[in-house]
Amino acid sequence: AKSQSRGSISIFEPQMDQQLRDRRVLHQDLSAAIRNGELSLHYQPQARAGQTVVDADITGFEALARWIHPTRGFVPPGDFIPLAEESGLIVEMGEWILRRACLEAASWPVPLQIAVNLSPAQFMHGDLVGLVHSILLETGLQPGRLELEITEGVLIEDFDRGVALLRRLKALGVRISMDDFGSGYSSLTYLQAFPFDKIKIDRAFVINLGLNPQSAAIVRAVIGLGHGLDVAIVAEGVETHEQLCFLASEGCDGVQGYFIGRPAPIAQYAALVGRIAAA
Ligand code: C2E
Ligand code: CA
Ligand code: CA
Ligand code: CA
């Protein structure tokens, strides 16, 4: 507590030192993680928004990266993805994730959509279009099944380059989703300039649906915006039946969240993708 501190510097410095050391070690471990097979993908289903959710409503999955560290165990992506971004490791890691997701999805007998997150560094450096193209050829995944999720932060850096890149990606036949819509700035400008196929309403608005009328108004407005622009709207973070009913009654196209299904190894969804679960 404050009253007990004799000088915040002497108390907090060792702690910050420790944090820095921690990060350095974690970073070294992360660069070995791909080689050592510590990364894997979990899959979270997306469904058409209806009053009930049955398996037939599932339209696809979002791939989410998982890192099981040999001694620390599970490290959340909210921790290691930013670390990978700062260090540039994300380019190599992102390539692994994209290839892995396409490879796995290509093996599903049922041709559901597969959504993969792209980080800003992947988007702005290297030959992303060439990479996506060669991974599609290599894995045989039908381009229309691949959705690339980007946040608007990606586009802030270089607007013109962003527009050109998205157009070239779309020319390959893949779909583009705007992730975390409403959590950043200038969203409307981006909607006008970029050829999105899907907008994902940020979880924060969905959480508050039953709690404050403003969230309901915002969600309703975004759904209306999507319909006006002919862009599909998917709500993220749907955790309750009430949220699902509200979204369905407002005409939201898709839903994703714990109420539909948690991120899990694909074996858990084997029946949906048409595979026999591995023992
Ligand atoms: P995101 O892209 O917005 O992914 C959705 C996150 O919300 C996931 O967290 C998911 O587990 C969580 N989620 C889904 N439904 C619910 C729900 O009903 N309630 C709650 N409370 N949470 C829900 P996760 O897997 O921890 O990932 C966090 C973030 O890390 C992702 O946010 C994404 O920004 C990043 N990330 C994860 N995997 C990758 C990846 O492969 N590449 C990149 N570039 N980023 C990734
Ligand atoms: Ca996402
Ligand atoms: Ca999101
Ligand atoms: Ca996010």
Residue 154 Cα, ligand 4 centroid: separation in angstroms? 12
**Residue 117 CB less than 6 A away from ligand 1:** yes
258 lines ligand 1 (CB under 6 A): yes
Distance CA(194)–CA(148), nearest Å, equals 13
Q: How far is the CA of 117 from the centre of ligand 2 (A)?
A: 5
| Protein residue whose Cα sits closest to atom 3 of ligand 1 | 180
Which stretch of DSSP H or E encloses residue 19? helix 8-33
Please report which ligand is nearest the Cα atom of 119: 1
| Interacting residues of 252 by C-beta distance below 8 A, sequence separation 6+ | 49, 201, 219, 223, 233, 234, 235
Burial (0-12, 13-18, 19+ Cβ within 10 Å), 105: buried
pLDDT of residue 1: 39
pLDDT in tens, the chain (279 residues): 344 444 445 555 667 778 777 788 888 899 899 899 999 999 999 999 987 778 779 999 999 999 999 999 999 999 999 999 988 899 999 999 999 999 999 999 999 999 999 998 888 778 999 999 999 999 999 999 999 999 887 777 788 888 899 999 999 999 999 999 988 776 687 888 888 999 999 999 999 998 888 999 999 999 999 999 999 999 999 999 999 999 999 999 999 999 999 999 999 999 999 987 554
Q: What is the DSSP letter of 53?
A: -
Question: Contact 175/147 with Cβ under 8 angstroms?
Answer: yes
**Residues 23, 67: Cα–Cα separation, whole Å:** 15
DSSP letters for 167-196: HHHHHTT-EEEEEEETSSS-HHHHHHHS--
CB atoms inside a 10 Å sphere around CB 184: 16
Is residue 78 in contact with ligand 1, taking CB distance under 6 Å?
Answer: yes
Q: Please give the Cα distance from 168 to 180 (Å, whole number).
A: 23
Q: Which of 64, 114, 123 to mutate to test the pocket of ligand 1 (most atoms within 8 A of CB)?
A: 64
102 neighbors 108 (Cβ within 8 angstroms): no
Other CB atoms within 10 Å distance of the CB of residue 248: 18
Cβ 113 vs Cβ 145: under 8 Å: yes
Supply the residue whose CA is at minimum distance from atom 2 of ligand 1: 117
Is 111 buried (19+), middle (13-18) or exposed (0-12) by CB count in 10 A?
A: middle
The reply to whether ligand 1 has any atom less than 6 angstroms from the CB of 254 is no
Using the atom order of ligand 1, give the atom closest to the CA of residue 94.
42
- Coil/strand/helix, residue 34: coil
Q: For residues 195 and 214, what is the distance between their CA atoms, to the nearest angstrom?
A: 28
* Closest approach atom of ligand 1 to CA 236: 15
Is 263:69 a contact under the CB 8 Å cutoff?
no
Tell me how far the alpha carbon of residue 64 lies from the centroid of ligand 1, in angstroms: 6
Query: How many angstroms separate the CA atoms of 278 and 256, rounded?
Result: 25
Q: Is 64 in the pocket of ligand 1 (CB under 6 A)?
A: yes
Nearest residue to 111 via CA among 60, 41, 148? 60
User: What is the pLDDT, as a whole number, of residue 206?
Assistant: 95
In this prediction, residue 107 carries a pLDDT of 96
Closest CA to 194 of 174, 176, 181: 176
